[in-house]
Every structure is written in structure tokens, then in C-alpha cells.
Chain A
Amino acid sequence: MATMNVLEAVRDAMRLEMRRDPNVFILGEDVGARGGVFLATNGFVAEFGEQRVIDTPLAESSIVGIALGAAVSGMRPIAEIQFGDFIWPAINQLVGEAARARYGTAGQRNASMVVRVPHGGGVRGGLYHSQSVEALLAHTPGLKVVAPSTPYDAKGLLISAIRDDDPVVFLEHKRTYRLVRGEAPEGYYTEPIGRAEIKRRGEDLTVITYGLMLHYTLQAAEQVSESEGIEAEVIDLRTLRPLDVDTVIESVRRTSKALIVQEDTPVASIGSEVAAVIADRAFFDLDGPVRRVTPPDFPPMPYSPLQEAEYMPSPNKISYAIRQLIDL
């Protein structure tokens, strides 16, 4: 086991796969000599050369479109979108094209590509360096959407994503990059895409979350356990598409109460889907409404610190919601 942060886990996964498979290459803005703005590809040009670590022009649509062309020709590109907020110019190539490449060719073409997307807020990123972009992507049949929150998951899931034959959007929460340290095996291992993980056991209610919010939720869970003996079960979705519905339903059937915590805005979001699935499959096990902790339904997110804190869900807001749901 080694101790690493999320960023190092991401770097480690890419480096290992680049060494193992000559078809893996990286393209994106500033990924070359700069090593990426977050240094995810630090040292990669020296090890793998400019051919396999390609600095692109500032043109997100072509970053994804070129990756797609290479992928359907047998390569395994890793495209980096520098910030989630910049993914919108590439949405057509991702949602319109890559997601349908297999389906639209009746299985003849593999869009075996990874699009890495540093995203999320709480980093004083303002309106264009804070966005959560998962809802539209997770809405799209044909894509896989992974959102790890720990170094162990980030490394194991990224290796799985690179080896996957379908397009995988890999959402890395910027704030977890250096904030979250943990153990992860050295060398190769994979974590399965599409499997949620219960990160904390409890019987009083189920809290479903992902990304940075996992860490805030775990803090809130300890808080209410300490002060009131409320034991929350915390599910880390890890993959947003395909959603691990079974793990969620199994837990909610036990606890009869469900709270969803997300950093994305509420309307038509991951939380909406999770709530719908619970209402559908666990309705007669519910002993209270399905509640959500989300930011207000406003654009993410003000740059000014008090407003940013107002916007972001926090451990306190989560423990407040847990108490509301328990005291029902």
C-alpha cells in the first residue's frame, strides 16, 4: 500500500496504463510540458514523448472529436478537458457522437476513450471554474460516468475506465485532488465501474452521495452519531452511469429513509434520478419523504467567499437535513 492523494492516484493510473498499453495516449490543453494545469500529467512528456502526450489548441470539441476518431480506430485515448466548465463546446462530440458510436453502428465500433474532467466547486472558482457537469452526461445513454472521491477509487476506477471499450467520462473533483489522502495499492488493480460502495454502515437512514460531498457527508454522519447516536449509512455512488440501483434500494429498504446529497443543482439531476428510483422500487419501505441536500437552484457558484459558502452544501447543512429526517 502507498499513501497518495487523489491527484497522485489519477497520475499513477495513467502512467501505469501508458506503460502497459502503447495504444493509450493523452491529449488536452497544457498536458505536455506544463504537465496539465493540475499537474496530472507531470513528467509524462519526459517518459512517453510528445507523440503520446499531445498539447492541443484551445478547442474542446476537437479534443473529444479527435479522441473519438482515434478510439474507433483502435486506440485508447485519454482526453483531458481542463475544467468541467469548458466541456460544453465538446458536448456534441461527446453526447451526440461518442455516446452513440457503438449503438449507431450496431456494435461495430468501440469508442474506447476516457474524457477526464476536473470539476466541482468550493475552490473559489466562480461561475466558470466551479461547475458540476454530471447531470447531462449521466443522462446520456452510451456514456459511462465515473465520479470517484478517494485515492483508492480514483486509481482503480481510472484504470478500469482506460481499459473499458466504451466512452467513460471521468469526473475528478478538484477540491479532492490534494485534500483527500488515502491508501491505494502500488501497481495495477481495478475497481469495477457501475458499483456503488457503502462507505459507512448505519441503520437509521441512508445518505446517497458522490464526489466531494462524500467527505462532507461522512463528517456529518460522525457528527450526528456523536451527538445523538443517529447512525447514517453512507453510500458513495462512485459511478453515476450506470447507476448501482441495487445497492441504493437494498439500503433504503433496511433504513426506510433516504437523503441524497449532491453539489450539483437540484433540477433534473443525479438526485432526481436516485429519488425517482427509490420512489419506484422502495416506496412501500419508506418511512419518510426522500429528501435532498443540494445548492440553491442558481448557477454555480459565486466567487466571493461568503456567497460561495452559502451556495455549497456543507457538513452542517447535511447533518441538519439528517436530523430533520430522523426527527419525523
Chain B
Amino acid sequence: MAYKIEMPRVGESVVEAVIDKWLVKAGQRVEEYDPLVEVVTDKVAMEIPAPASGTITKIVVAAGDTVPIGAVIAEMDADDAPERSDPGPVESQGGTSYTPNFDRTGTLVQEANVGPTGGVFRDTSLQAPPQSPHTALSPVVMRLAAEHGIDPASVKGTGRSGRITKSDILAAVSRRNRAAHSIGDDGDELLIQNPVKKLTAEHMARSWREIPHAWSAIEIDVSGMVACRQANRESALGRHGVNLTYLPFTLWAAARSLAENKLLNSTWQGNRAYVRARINLGIAVATHDGLVVPVLHDADAGSVSQMAVRVSKIVSKAREGKLDLEDVRGGTFTLNNTGALGSVLGGAIINHPQTAILTTETVVKRPVAVSLEGRDKIEVREMMNACLSFDHRLIDGAEAAAFLQDFKGRLESIDADSTIE
């Protein structure tokens, strides 16, 4: 059987060896323990014996070369399968220099009771403390609550099982202190960096640093959508208790366009990109604590009115600072309704690790050239721009355009008689 002869471990702390002299040639018959090669390490010089009886088929490393422990130095056709040589320290990173190697370290599945080598991982020092985390206030939480006169019972915990974390208390403090910020000598205001803003800042910077952004924009005639909204406002308020805005329409359309253009619904995980199966739309919401992005999970499932109900709920939760971890988890694409703020054109920053973000701009009345029964004429139409920022590593301009066209088509197909249910 073919067998690769590796440089064996030849002493504590030795990581490489120099092939000094081969004592055999390719094609030569050897018996187990016959000397094969003379090697030199910085600790010892020694002969390496044959691991089995058989015929040497190939000398892989020439005399004078340095090889790491474990490298293949020759190949043989062995009579019987040789015993594996000593594997050395199992966690060995190999090589002579320290380079973090994440591919080899991999990642851990939490709570998986398996050690790094397949044994049972029984590290009892890592077991969670026995007390219930619901009620346990950590020392820093108790101190900050007392210092700032905050009742911990009034703070929503975002930690495991709803534990109130240090950030939760700091956020509560920051909310309360918003009005009372300090003013410098020149009238400069100190920006209180609450945790949300700080995280957003880091997040934005990371996205900008890592993702090569490309942009594309499209004009959409939303006259029909405007009419439809107008037609259904009252019934929405009556039947669902929601104020119908344009956002449910654009969400509805975007979710369906994503289902058709799946590449836009992808995320980066480490060094790999995945097309996501679920369509979970993040909605950028400005709150007084900063930008938050609650997520509508499986947004391709419901009707416009269902979307309206869900949007209304989650946006008010966001504005009240009552979002659960679940509410902000798992987004696959983000929609940014800058139109509500009067913007007509924008280049949004992608919500890392997603790969695209869509902004829907202000709906404005504009004179538009339209063709009606073969004749061009100017009409006043309700127009809206939609701008897409996309990760150019994954998505090409054509794919972006296809998505935008699909989105446009869906919105333009709506008219006053369309059902929103």
C-alpha cells in the first residue's frame, strides 16, 4: 500500500528539521527500522528509520532542505499499513512563526459537549452560575442604578433570559439624561455617545471599511400606489388600527422582488457569502437614541395590510426603546425609508453583513412625459426615486438593475382598485 513518510516528532519543542543525507534511493527495498535519512534539528542530529518494510517510491524532500515536523519527506509502497507516528501536541499550529490561523481553529457550537479532539469537554470552570439570571443584578448594574437613581425594575434587560446588562443601565441613564447635556465654553454641545450610537458608529465604519459599495437608482411612477393608499387609509385605520403609509407597499414589493432576485438577499459569514433562505427585512428607524434596525421576519409572506400592522408595531416598539433581541436579529436585507424625511436621492451604507440596502425617497409630483394611445404628452405624476447600495464583490450592476426593475414593476402595477388585504 502507498504510504507517505512524514518527518516525525524528534524532541520536545522541535518544530523543524534539516534533511542532511538520504541513505536510500527511490526504488530501493527497505525493511522496517532500516535507516532512511539523516536529519539535523537544532537539538539533535539523528537517523530516521523506515516506518515499515517495503519499497521507497519517491524522495520528496532533497538533502539540504528544511521541513516542518509532520511534512511528507518520502513515499513508499509498504507491505503492511505502518503504525501512525506520534501526532505530537494535538493543538499544534505547526510552523515556526505565530500566525493566527482561523481556518484551523474553527468555531465552536455553543453548549456542544464535545472537546477539541472529540473527547468530552468537561471544563467545569465554564459552567454557568447556578442562580437565576432573571433576578441577579450584577455589581456594576447595582452601582450604576444607585449612582444615577434608576430603578432597575424599570429597565428592560437585553441579556440572557432578560438579564439587565451594564449597557441596558447605561442606555436608560442616557435616555433620561438626554435633555441635560453639557455645554462647552463656545456653546459646543457634548454628544453623549450612548451605546446604540456607539455600536452604530462602529458598525457603519466596519461596513464602509470592508464592503466595496456600488450604487444604482431608479425612478418609479407611484401614482397608483398613492391612489391605493388614499383609497384604503380609512379602512386600514378602522379594520386594523393602523395609519397606512407607503412603507408597507414598498416592503411588500421589496420582499417579493428579493424572492425573484435572491442574490440581493445574501449575507457574509466569515469569509463566505450565503444566499439566505428567509427574507427578513430590516427597517431603518431613527429613534432619539440613534438608528435602530428592527426586522420583519419572513416579509415575503403577508399582504400589504398585514405588513402595515407589523410595521406599525415594530416601529413603535423601536421608538419606545422596547425592542427584543429577537426583533433585531436575522435581517437579510434593509429598507431605508428616507422619503419620510424629504430626501430624493441617497447612497445608504449597507447594513453589514448584508449585501444590499434600498432607500425609497420622497414621493413628489412631477411633470412626466407619458405615452397614451401612441401620443406623447406631459402629465403630472407621483414620482419616487429608489436607490440601491450593493456589495460589488457579490452583486454586479446588471443584477442590481434587474432587482430594481422588478421592484419598480411591482409598485407601478398597483392602482386605486388594488386590494391591500
Contacts and interface: CB of A to CB of B under 8 A. Distances in A.
Whether A and B touch directly in their complex, counting CB atoms under 8 A apart, is answered as: yes
Interface of A: 5, 7, 37-39, 122-125, 129, 174-175, 177-182, 215-216, 218-220, 222-223, 226-227, 229, 256, 266, 283-289, 291-294, 296, 305-306, 308-310, 312, 314-317, 319-321, 323-324, 327-328
23 contacts: A5-B96, A122-B91, A175-B13, A175-B89, A179-B96, A182-B98, A220-B105, A223-B107, A284-B142, A285-B140, A285-B143, A286-B138, A286-B140, A289-B129, A291-B125, A293-B125, A308-B89, A309-B116, A310-B119, A315-B105, A316-B105, A319-B107, A324-B128
A261 to B, nearest CB: 10
Interface residues of B, number: 53
A312 B107 CA distance: 18
Contact of B105 (A122, A219, A312): A219
B154 to A, nearest CB: 18
Contacts of A123: 12-13, 89
Nearest to B101: A219
A287 B141 CA distance: 7
Given A178-B15, A315-B105, A320 B110 contact: yes
B184 interface: no
Of B12, B98, B138, which is in contact with the most chain A CB atoms at under 10 Å from its CB? Answer: B12
Interface of B: 9, 12-16, 42-43, 86-91, 93, 96-98, 100-102, 105-108, 110, 115-119, 121-126, 128-129, 133, 138-143, 159-160, 163, 165-166, 206, 270
A296 B124 CA distance: 8
A293 B12 CA distance: 24
B53 to A, nearest CB: 26
A305 B108 contact: no
B116 A316 contact: yes
Contacts of B116: 309, 314, 316-317
Given A222-B102, A287-B166, A181 B96 contact: yes
Contacts of B9: 124
B12 to A, nearest CB: 4
A289 B130 CA distance: 12
Contact of A315 (B16, B91, B118): B91
Contacts of B90: 305-306, 308-309
A287 B125 contact: no
Contacts of B15: 178-179
Contacts of A288: 138
A45 B270 CA distance: 53
Given A123-B89, A124-B88, A306-B90, A222 B128 contact: no
In the complex, the 6 A-B pairs of residues with the closest C-beta atoms, listed nearest first: A309-B90, A287-B166, A284-B143, A181-B97, A123-B12, A309-B117
A328 to B, nearest CB: 5
Contact of B108 (A216, A266, A293, A320): A320
A174 B200 CA distance: 44
